[in-house]
Homo-oligomer: A and B are copies of this chain.
Amino acid sequence: MKNRLKVLRAERDWSQAELAGRLDVSRQAVNAIETGKHDPSLPLAFRIARLFDMRIEDIFDDGESA
A41's contact among B39, B55, B57, by CB below 8 Å, is which?
B39
Residues of B contacting A57 with CB < 8 Å? 46, 49, 55-56
Contact of A41 with B41 at beta-carbon distance under 8 Å, contacts A49-B57, A57-B55 already known:
yes
Residues of B contacting A45 with CB < 8 Å? 42, 45, 56
CB distance from A10 to the nearest CB of B (A): 22
CB distance from A62 to the nearest CB of B (A): 4
Residues of B contacting A43 with CB < 8 Å? 1, 39, 62
A2-26 Cβ-contact flags toward B at 8 Å (1 or 0): 0000000000000000000000000
A29-66 Cβ-contact flags toward B at 8 Å (1 or 0): 00000000001111101110110000111001010101
